[in-house]
Amino acid sequence: RKKKREKRESSTQMEVRCFRCNHMQTVTRYATSTQCGRCSVYISMSDYEVKGVRKNVLRTRGNVVVSRRGSVVDTEIACHDLTIHGKYSARVDATGTVNLRNSGVVQGQLNCRKLMIDRKCEVEFPDGVVCETAEILGTLKGNLTCEDKAVVRRTGIVDGDVTAAEIEIREGGEVSGETEISDDIDVTLPIRAGYNPSAID
């Protein structure tokens, strides 16, 4: 499984998930946009940097960076990789890595490939996190579920339960809830019904 992911990440192709029906399809990394092969919705592939206050929804399968002076409050971000240095209280739909470098709140359940919480950051996940891998150097408030490995570094704190195929808690790291090892975790989002299912390959 890991070899497949590494091969996928290093190639000129990338997997794109539809915003509307969750259908997965392969697209060249050089594309600026594509169309869902199942429900035909338009999918932007553009990268964005948020430098000011953004309150409207941002949907792309490119990468998004929220700068130190930027903020995303009471809105939604859908993207591939997401890095946040500024203020945030938003719903997040990511297909790549989510790197949180400032304290804030992620509304709704977060689904991503990899979650990283930087040291001295305190992030609230009221509805939990579901990802492939996680590396916690700061504080995660909520439940964490990983298909592969969850690592809590010596400065890391998880104020909730951790369920993963492999759990590593470094000396000094803390988990306040229960820990459970499970090989039967699938983080793939189900395809939503009602969007032209006859078009599936």
pLDDT of residue 89 exceeding 70, the answer is yes
Burial class of 78 by CB neighbour count within 10 A (0 to 12, 13 to 18, 19+): buried
Give me the DSSP letters along 6-42: HHHHHSSEEEEE-TTT--EEEEETT-SEEE-TTT--E
> Nearest 5°: CA angle at 63, between 152 and 89?
60
- What does the mean pLDDT of the chain come to? 91
Q: How confident is the model at residue 27 (pLDDT cuts 50, 70, 90)?
A: very high
